[in-house]
Structures are given as structure tokens and as C-alpha cells.
């Protein structure tokens, strides 16, 4: 007689056989336990300070340390959505262990992330310090690269300044026509029913157009204010450069005057002194003219900002070396936006950029990656399409985060400029910036013979890259930086930001970098155990 097949007992409603502690639901070396241990070493005083300042009465908040670990783990496993995190707290054993079997709702998770986004982004340096202690950061070879990520906005919701003006005029005409129609209807109804028998509410059609017109006027005013602020900053930079040139010319003229006083018989010295004096006068006039234009642009920027209800720009303030560049709106000589200057209605800080899949409405996300273990040592986000202006700010962020210059800095042709090469040389940085786009599979011709003495910055960099050592070092860029973006965008699904606005997007990108480094730190700990 054949024995009947039996199976393990299964009863979903039986709870007595479950482990007495949720900790037993996960393996010993699970990422959750690593995060819980790491969280004990993090300084969360900035987050706790917010709660200490609040009224202790009312509904008790979830433990901030638990919420921090919850967000970090969620981003580590590619679940940034607050609703998906809430669902995971019910359905996923790892999340239930992490929260101690608590289930915060999605609104609490979202509010916590928004309120403490700056403090969460500040954890980047703390996690980086832990990576340094673990020997995962050497800064021998650091690759800098950028990637375009879609904003939480559609590129079809953007409108140019020219189209804004046309649409605004069209809406004004439509509203005027509707008002005339409404007045005619009012007169007819007054004649039929008598005065005061009709309500004073606006017709729905008229109200919709009025709302659209108000939104359009607000966007146009903000675009014009942004363009005026950019124009004022450029004028201020030009004025400062002209003033520095005037100061240098004045110093040269003063030195020449002293030399002429010491040797009056030298006709050549006298002629040279006269030339320098003339150049100093011309430089002084240019500086005064540039300062006048800068002051005019500053007043215009303030007027535009006040009209748009924005904070007053201050182009005279010192530039933060860690600040990322902002987009350059096309402006006229008067500081007004050109016809093709665009602004998005959903996320005004975002910009139309050329990405790998064509044109997108998004942000330019930067990351500097250490070559030893692919640890991200610096991050940044801007709405500037070109990578060129990101090189120096990212270099400053590397130094600020790690306390030292990289041994070698590698970046593609998008970062190459004379100013960036000279900035590297002035800092003593061994930089490798591609001077031109190279076809895949093709290496540049090696350099031969002694270097010419009159080589400019680009020529020196090109010759450096064409050496055998330069080729070998530059080839590391693809295997250092590009896989990191693949892991963040592919493995953890960052194809579009959840938050809107440059500051919030910067915090979200920093969270991605933090959790990337945590993953590397966790794998290193497993390998060492």
C-alpha cells in the first residue's frame, strides 16, 4: 500500500509557534541590524532639538532615531515612496523588526522627511567618516561625473517668456470679452427681473480664465525676477574683475613712477611710465563704468523681486565656494529674459536638460567617487546643464568633507576648461580632464618628444592625457564613477525625484548617496567578519 504524501503543518491563524522576538525573523548579518548598530553612533541632536522645542502635550511622536533608520533602510532597498514604506511596515518582516512592530502612516513618514531633510542630508559627512575609519576611502583616484535625473514635473508644463506674453494677452482679451458678455446678460436680466435679483459670483468659464491668467502673471514675474538677478550677478562679477584690473594697473603705474623718479635720464623708462599711466586711467574709467552698470542691474533685480513677491537678491554678497552653479537664463542687455527663456509651472527650479534618453525636465546631479571602494565623497545638485561650472565647487566639497585634496582627479570632457585646469594647477591637484570627446575603443595618439614651452593650459592637459600613464589613469573613470550611477538609478530605481524644488531635490540626492555608502560599508563589514 502506497504511503500518502504529507507536508509540513500550515495554519496562517496559528501564532503560538512564532518566535518570541521579531529579531529572530531575520538572519544574523541582515542590513537592518547593521543600520541599528550604526544609528547608535550617529549624532542626531539637530533632529531631537526640533522635538525638544515643541509643546510636550498632544500625540506622542515616533522615536526620531527609529524614523531615521526607517528612511535610511527604505532608500537602501529602493523604496523612497512614503506610501510604499508604510505598506512595507505592515508586510515586510525587515521593516517590522526595524520599527519594533510599529507602523507609522505615510503622512508621518513624509512629514518627518520634509521637516528634517537638511539634518538627514547632514548625515552624509558622518557616514563618510565611518567609511574613512573602515579604510574604504583613500582619495588616491577620485572620479567626478554627473547624471541628469527627471524632476517631479513635466517638460510640457514649461513655457517660454515669449509664449507667456502672448498667452497673457490672449487671456486678457478673452476675459474682457466674457466680462462684456456678462454685463450684457446682467442688463438683460435687470430689465426682465429687476435689479438685485441675480448673484454677483463670476461665471465658471470666466473664473477659470482668471485663475490661469493670475498663475501666468505670477510665473512671468518670477521668471523676469530670476533673469534680473542672474544679470545683476554677472554685472557684479564684471565690475569686480574690472576693479581688480584697475588696482593692478594703478600698482604698476605707481611702481613705474618710483622708477622714473630714481632715473630721470632714461627716455625709455619715461615713455613706459607714460604708457602705464594712460593704461591705469583707462582701467579706472572701465571700472567706474562697470560699477555703474552693476549698480543699475542690482536696483532692477530688487524691483523685479519685489514685484514678484520674492526675497531680495544680493549680488554683492560673497560667493560661497561650496555653492553649486545655477542655470544661466538668456537675458537681454537690459536684464530682461529673452523670448526663449523658460520656466516650469510644476517645479520652477527644474530646467530642460539633455539626458541619455533625450531632453528631460530635471536636474544635474553630481557625485565624486573614490576609486578604491566606490565610496561617494561629495555630492551636489544644480539646474545648470553644463558640467563645466561644477568642477571647482565639487573639488571644494571633497576637501570640506574629507579634509584633504584627492591624489588624482579624473573627469570627462564636460568638465574641461582653461579656468578649471588652471585652478587645479594652482591647488597642486593632479587632474586628468579630457580635452575632447573620445570615441569608444580608440585611444589618443601618445605624446612624443619634449613639450613645447609655449603650451597653454589645454595643451598641457592634452599632452598629459596622451602619455601612457595619463591614458591608464583616465581609463579608470568609467569603472569608478559610472557603475555608481547605474546602482543608484538601476538597482534602487531613481528615475525621477519625489520632491520638488532645488533644496529638497538636493536633500533627496544626498540621501541616495548616504545609503549607497551605507551599502558599501555593510558589505565591507560582512567581508571582514
Flag the least confident range among 40-54, 184-198, 250-264, 406-420. Answer: 184-198
Report the pLDDT averaged over residues 338-348.
Answer: 83
Q: Final residue of a domain: which of 251, 278, 308?
A: 308
Pairing of strands 408-411, 430-433: parallel
Residue 132 covered by a domain = no
Using DSSP, state whether 332 is helix, strand or coil: coil
426-430's contacts with Cβ under 8 Å and 24+ in sequence apart are 427/395, 429/395, 429/405
Tell me the percentage of the chain whose pLDDT exceeds 90. Answer: 37
Domain that holds residue 229: 158-308
Contact 109, 86 (CB under 8 A): yes
Flag the least confident range among 79-83, 128-132, 459-463. Answer: 459-463
Residue 185 covered by a domain = yes
111 with 198, same domain?
A: no
The model's pLDDT over 381-411, given as tens digits with 9 standing for 90+, comes to 999 888 999 999 999 999 999 999 999 999 9
Residue 424 covered by a domain = yes
Task: Give the span between the Cα atoms of 362 and 379, in whole angstroms.
Answer: 16
Residue 186 covered by a domain = yes
Residue 319 covered by a domain = no
259 with 285, same domain?
A: yes
Domain total in the chain: 3
Give the CATH number, domain containing residue 443. Answer: 3.30.420
The one-character DSSP state at 467 is S
500 with 352, same domain?
A: yes
Task: Give the span between the Cα atoms of 492 and 489, in whole angstroms.
Answer: 6
The one-character DSSP state at 496 is B
Pairing of strands 342-344, 158-160: antiparallel
Q: State the residue for C-alpha cell 597653454.
A: 456
Q: State the residue for C-alpha cell 596622451.
A: 466
**420 pLDDT tier (thresholds 50, 70, 90):** very high
Residue 128 covered by a domain = no
- What φ, ψ does residue 500 adopt, rounded to 5°? -125, 150
212 with 355, same domain?
A: no
Residue 527 covered by a domain = no
357 with 280, same domain?
A: no
146 with 236, same domain?
A: no
Residue 6 covered by a domain = no
376 with 290, same domain?
A: no
Flag the least confident range among 141-150, 343-352, 372-381. Answer: 343-352
**170 pLDDT tier (thresholds 50, 70, 90):** confident
199 with 148, same domain?
A: no
Q: What is the pLDDT of residue 317?
A: 57
Task: Give the span between the Cα atoms of 529 and 525, in whole angstroms.
Answer: 6
**504 pLDDT tier (thresholds 50, 70, 90):** very high
The model's pLDDT over 265-314, given as tens digits with 9 standing for 90+, comes to 455 566 777 777 788 888 888 888 888 888 888 888 888 888 888 777 66
Q: Which three cell numbers stand for residue 452?
A: 613645447
b (16+ CB within 10 A) / e for 237-274? ebbeebbebbeebbebbeebeeebeeeeeeeeeeeebe
The one-character DSSP state at 337 is B
Task: Give the span between the Cα atoms of 155 and 146, in whole angstroms.
Answer: 20
- What φ, ψ does residue 331 adopt, rounded to 5°? -125, 160
Task: Give the span between the Cα atoms of 171 and 176, in whole angstroms.
Answer: 8
Q: State the residue for C-alpha cell 580608440.
A: 442
Contact 137, 375 (CB under 8 A): yes
Using DSSP, state whether 266 is helix, strand or coil: coil
Torsion of CA 497, 500, 503, 506, to 10 degrees: 0
Task: Please list the residues that pair with 365 across neighbouring strands.
Answer: 147, 381
Contact 120, 507 (CB under 8 A): yes
HSE, CB side, 13 Å, CA atoms: give it for residue 220.
16
367 with 268, same domain?
A: no
Classify burial at 231, counting beta carbons within 10 Å of its beta carbon; exposed 0-12, middle 13-18, buried 19 or more.
buried
The H or E element spanning position 381 is: strand 376-382
89 with 206, same domain?
A: no
Q: What is the pLDDT of residue 521?
A: 93
The pTM assigned to this predicted structure is 0.80
111 with 188, same domain?
A: no
208 with 145, same domain?
A: no
The one-character DSSP state at 331 is B
**198 pLDDT tier (thresholds 50, 70, 90):** very low
Q: Which residues contact 65 (CB under 8 A, 6 or more apart)?
A: 39, 44
Contact 263, 269 (CB under 8 A): yes
pLDDT of 17 > 80? The answer is no
The model's pLDDT over 217-264, given as tens digits with 9 standing for 90+, comes to 887 888 888 888 888 888 888 888 888 888 888 887 777 776 666 655
Amino acid at each position: 500500500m502506497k504511503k500518502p504524501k504529507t507536508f509540513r503543518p500550515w495554519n496562517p491563524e496559528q501564532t503560538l509557534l512564532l518566535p518570541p522576538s521579531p529579531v529572530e525573523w531575520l538572519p544574523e548579518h541582515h542590513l537592518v541590524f547593521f543600520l541599528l548598530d550604526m544609528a547608535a553612533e550617529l549624532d542626531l541632536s539637530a533632529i531631537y532639538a526640533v522635538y525638544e522645542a515643541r509643546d510636550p502635550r498632544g500625540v506622542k511622536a515616533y522615536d526620531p532615531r527609529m524614523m531615521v533608520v526607517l528612511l535610511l533602510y527604505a532608500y537602501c532597498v529602493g523604496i523612497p515612496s512614503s506610501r510604499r514604506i508604510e505598506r512595507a511596515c505592515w508586510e515586510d518582516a525587515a521593516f517590522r523588526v526595524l520599527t519594533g512592530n510599529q507602523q507609522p502612516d505615510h503622512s508621518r513618514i513624509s512629514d518627518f522627511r520634509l521637516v528634517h531633510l537638511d539634518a538627514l542630508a547632514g548625515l552624509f559627512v558622518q557616514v563618510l567618516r565611518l567609511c574613512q575609519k573602515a579604510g574604504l576611502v583613500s582619495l588616491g583616484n577620485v572620479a567626478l561625473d554627473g547624471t541628469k535625473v527627471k524632476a517631479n514635473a513635466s517638460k510640457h508644463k514649461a513655457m517660454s517668456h515669449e509664449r507667456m506674453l502672448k498667452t497673457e494677452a490672449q487671456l486678457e482679451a478673452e476675459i474682457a470679452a466674457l466680462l462684456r458678455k456678462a454685463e450684457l446678460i446682467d442688463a438683460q436680466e435687470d430689465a426682465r427681473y429687476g435689479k438685485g435679483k441675480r448673484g454677483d459670483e463670476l461665471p465658471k468659464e470666466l473664473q477659470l480664465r482668471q485663475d490661469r491668467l493670475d498663475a501666468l502673471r505670477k510665473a512671468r514675474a518670477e521668471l523676469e525676477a530670476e533673469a534680473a538677478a542672474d544679470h545683476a550677478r554677472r554685472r557684479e562679477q564684471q565690475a569686480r574683475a574690472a576693479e581688480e584690473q584697475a588696482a593692478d594697473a594703478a600698482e604698476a603705474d605707481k611702481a613705474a613712477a618710483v622708477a622714473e623718479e630714481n632715473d630721470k635720464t632714461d627716455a625709455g623708462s619715461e615713455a613706459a611710465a607714460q604708457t602705464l599711466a594712460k593704461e591705469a586711467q583707462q582701467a579706472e574709467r572701465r571700472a567706474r563704468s562697470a560699477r555703474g552698470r552693476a549698480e543699475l542691474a542690482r536696483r532692477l533685480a530688487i524691483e523685479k523681486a519685489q514685484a514678484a513677491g520674492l526675497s531680495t537678491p544680493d549680488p554683492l554678497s560673497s560667493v560661497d565656494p561650496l555653492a553649486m552653479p545655477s542655470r544661466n537664463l538668456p537675458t537681454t542687455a537690459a536684464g530682461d529674459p529673452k523670448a526663449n527663456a523658460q520656466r516650469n509651472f510644476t517645479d520652477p527650479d527644474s530646467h530642460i536638460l539633455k539626458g541619455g534618453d533625450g531632453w528631460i525636465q530635471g536636474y544635474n546631479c553630481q557625485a565624486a567617487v573614490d576609486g578604491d571602494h566606490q565610496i561617494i565623497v561629495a555630492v551636489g545638485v544644480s539646474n545648470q546643464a553644463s558640467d563645466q561650472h561644477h568642477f571647482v565647487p565639487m573639488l571644494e566639497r571633497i576637501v570640506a568633507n574629507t579634509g584633504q585634496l584627492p591624489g588624482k582627479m579624473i573627469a570627462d570632457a564636460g568638465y574641461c576648461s582653461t579656468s578649471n585646469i588652471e585652478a587645479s594647477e594652482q591647488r597642486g591637484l593632479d587632474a586628468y580632464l579630457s580635452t575632447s570627446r573620445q570615441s569608444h575603443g580608440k585611444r589618443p595618439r601618445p605624446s612624443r618628444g619634449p613639450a613645447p614651452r609655449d603650451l597653454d593650459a589645454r595643451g598641457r592637459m592634452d599632452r598629459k592625457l596622451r602619455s601612457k600613464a595619463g591614458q591608464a589613469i583616465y581609463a579608470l573613470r568609467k569603472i569608478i564613477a559610472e557603475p555608481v550611477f547605474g546602482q543608484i538609478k538601476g538597482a534602487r530605481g531613481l528615475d525621477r525625484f519625489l520632491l520638488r524644488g532645488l533644496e529638497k531635490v538636493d536633500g533627496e540626492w544626498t540621501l541616495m548617496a548616504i545609503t549607497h555608502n551605507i551599502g558599501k560599508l555593510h558589505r565591507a563589514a560582512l567581508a571582514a567578519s
